[in-house]
Chain A
Amino acid sequence: MRALFEISKSGLRAAERSLSVTANNVVNADTPGYSRQRVDKNAIGMQMGNYHSGLGVNITAVNRLRNEMNDVLLNEKRQDMGYLKEQQRIFQQLEATMASDSGGDLDLRIGRFFDLFSELSSDPQDMSVRNNLVSEAVQLTDKMAEIDRSLDRTSDLVRDTTTKSVQAVNELLRDLAAINRTVQQAEAQGKPDHASLDLQVKKLEELAELVDFETQRTENGGMLIRVGGVQVLDENQAYFLKPEVDDVEKAYRLRLESGKLVETTGGKLGAGIEMYEEQIQGLKEKLDTIAETMVTEFNTLHRSGFGLEDSMSRDFFDPAGDRAGTIRVRDEIRDSVEHIAASSTDGEAGNGEIAAEIASLRNSPLIGGQKLIDYSINLISEPGRNLSDLNSKIEARDSEIQMLTMQQERESGVNIDEELSLMIQYQNAYQGSARVMGAAQQMLDTLIDLVR
């Protein structure tokens, strides 16, 4: 008779416990990183003489459903995505710096500049043409300086965001180290800490967007993390990254406190470093090439010609400034436009031969077999070209992540409908057990009544 009470009691307890797990699942349905939990039960019983008698139900474990392999795959994709998205963000800024939809870009400015030399060659005595030429040249040099400044600004911003990412990585490492300790303690007591493990998943997801890393789980439940082959988290503590920036050489290095160099090529951090060290510098160098070529080519021809006033040969651009940030029309030319050398012969006011030669530089392959304007069109389209590549890569990566997330969801995600149907089941089980207990009570009452 006692067994009846025990069996129904275990049923009530199991149903209640199961319902509480379900309840936890339902309320955490949209908690990031949460993994669905399930109750594992065992029937208990014992051999009684020559038959086996059931003695109720026992809860053996509350399991956390999660596919760790899937998490690793997902984090690899996330790291890739973090890298691509950061590059996309920076290239978007760069594109806006270099090209506009209104068209007043570098190619137009250079074209207008050549136009005016073309006009000057046809009308070398016209002062208004000369004035226009100088103001156009000033606009062109201003434009180059402006782009150069914007590139510098973007470079500084990228450097700062990257440093912020490093800080974020360090904070995550600190959190993960704390989680490591709780997880290991709980594991040692034989009671896995599901809440901390879920938090660990979430932190690793965040870390994956920032940097490329490898994980390894130790026997006692600890998590080891390596970045670029260097250990940054072991069972006991985290080793923080320290940025080391060389603004002149444009080098961005990461070191541990111990001085060990950490090389990272992925995630937001890797993207930031690559943009800072290479991409933005590459654009700047190309812009400088344009400036340098213009200063050299224009000055060489200009020096061989003569202005309207005297027989002095002059540079058009200040030879001291042969970079995009420093290119400048010579003060002498700015101050008196008669000094623009259009003529190939001293004293011939109507001679526009030199202006014609300068105008024809427009068609000459001056930079690596490319015309000046084609080269600059190429330059202003470069961020957009990269951006368009990135956009299609991101789209592909996005659907991969989508697929893996769906797989993970199927495994770990909470399906409200399933939980609700489980809830009905547990409710019924509870009612059933209670009924059994009631029946046992009645049986006991009947027995006691007999005695009375």
Chain B
Amino acid sequence: MRDISKNRAELGKIQSDLSSGRTVRFPSHDPISFQQSRVIGENIRKEEQYQRNISSGLRQARMAQDTLDKSIDRLVEIKGILVQGATGTTGESVRANMAEEIAGLRDTLVDTFNLSYGDRYLFAGTNSAVAPFENDELAVGGVESHSNTTAPNILAGDGVQVDISVTGTELRDTGSGDMFEVIQQIEDALLDDDTDALNGLLDDMDGLIDHATHLTSRLGGNINQMEFMFERYESSAIYQKSDISELVDTDYAQAFSDLQRTQVAFESAMAVHSTMFGNSLLDYL
């Protein structure tokens, strides 16, 4: 009788293993596997969060990179105008027009750099609730800066923070001096018809473009790093999930063969039991 109820309990366990697809559903089924699976599960969740952080970081970094690319185009335009203006044959009125054009381009640059993602100004450093640049006659280069020197970053891994943009301060501070100051000098020189000064500014202008290109490629490096980490989490999740599956999921082949074996034992126990009880001296009296 005891064997029959034991068999029945075992059949019940196999049945729920099969129907739920998991052998370890509660700690008591196998405490060690349960704990290990939960620890791995926690790690997967943590990495999935890092992946979400990276996705959001990548969107912002790509926007910032795109903006930097556009700003390089603007700087190249400015350089084009500068080269034209530095040529002695250009007339005074043309230079005045050019100066106006440059002022317009500077305003465009300011607008471009005031790019925001949601509530966050991408080039303002961590002071990102405020637009990083503002036109202000009195400020250096006619542009006031609100950015600080800490680039916004995301948490991409345990103790790993990756910058997703460059700060406005960094952006301005080129090897050839302040970006907007150089642009203003060009504007002034055009207004003054000062070709010597214009020629002198050519190198500085190249410096500005180099600086922006350098920052773009540095940001590109960060983007690559984030993409790489994302991929790594993706593949590590696959391994970890299969680890969990090995710990807690039902091995169907095993379960089916167990089912068959237990069923045979169950049926024979019942058969023996009923035969034994059927045989009694009572029948012969």
Contacts and interface: CB of A to CB of B under 8 A. Distances in A.
Interface of B is mostly: mixed
A383 B29 CA distance: 11
B34 interface: yes
Contact of B28 (A95, A121, A398): A95
B118 A99 contact: no
A3 to B, nearest CB: 34
Contacts of B120: 123, 125, 349-350
A381 B27 contact: yes
Interface in B179-205: none
A398 B3 CA distance: 12
Contact of B155 (A107, A121, A374, A417): A121
A99 B270 CA distance: 36
Interface stretch (B49-57, B101-109, B170-178, B260-268): B49-57
Interface in B31-85: 31, 34-35, 38-39, 41-42, 45-46, 49-50, 52-53, 56-57
A380 B38 CA distance: 10
A360 interface: yes
B53 A122 contact: yes
Query: For B30, B49, B281, which residue has the most chain A Cβ atoms within 10 angstroms?
Result: B49
A416 B284 CA distance: 13
Interface string A350-381: 11100010011011000000000110011011
A380 B282 CA distance: 57
B143 to A, nearest CB: 20
A165 interface: no
A377 B31 contact: no
The binding surface of chain A is classed by DSSP as helix
Contacts of A308: 129
B91 interface: no
B235 interface: no
Contacts of A352: 126, 153, 155
Interface stretch (B18-26, B134-142, B215-223): B18-26
B39 A381 contact: no
Interface residues on B, range: 35 or more
A385 B24 CA distance: 13
Interface stretch (A38-46, A110-118, A443-451): A110-118
B27 A383 contact: yes
5 contacts: A122-B154, A343-B126, A349-B126, A350-B125, A378-B35
Given A101-B26, A377-B39, 20 more contacts: A103-B41, A115-B46, A118-B53, A122-B53, A122-B56, A123-B118, A125-B118, A125-B128, A126-B118, A127-B119, A350-B120, A350-B129, A377-B38, A382-B27, A383-B28, A384-B31, A385-B27, A385-B28, A385-B31, A420-B281
A351 B148 CA distance: 11
A111 B118 CA distance: 26
Contacts of B45: 108, 111-112, 115
B169 interface: no
A380 B281 CA distance: 57
Nearest to A417: B281
Contact of B35 (A360, A377, A402): A377
B276 to A, nearest CB: 11
A345 B22 CA distance: 49
A388 interface: yes
